[in-house]
Amino acid sequence: MKTITVKLDDEFAAEVEQFQRDADYATKSEMVRDALRTLMVARRRAQLQANLQRYLQDQQALAEAADEVETRMAVTEEALERAEG
């Protein structure tokens, strides 16, 4: 396991130690690992939500484009029928 050193100001370090005690973490390392996992999951969830939003927007744009193509094809077919008729 790799060790990573983090420097905290005294006030924040005291808050971290109090949180560790209040949350019943056996060690600060356990607490930090848990916090980082939570942060990383939240970030991944936000990325997935953004990707889903882009997908839904793209899907809507494609549906609108397909509708426009169908409308133009109908107009073109009508014009061809009139020209041939």
With CA atoms as reference, report the closest residue to 77 among 69, 64, 65: 69
Q: What is the pLDDT of residue 85?
A: 75
Q: Cα separations (Å) of 4 from 1, 17, 75?
A: 10, 17, 67
The pLDDT tens digits for 43-62 are 999 999 999 999 999 999 99
What is the DSSP-derived secondary structure letter of residue 81? H
- The reply to whether the predicted model has a pTM over 0.85 is no
- Average pLDDT by stretches of 10, the chain with 85 residues: 95 97 96 97 98 96 94 90 85
Q: What would the 3-class secondary structure string for 14-69 be?
A: HHHHHHHHHCCCCCHHHHHHHHHHHHHHHHHHHHHHHHHHHHHHHHHHHHHHHHHH
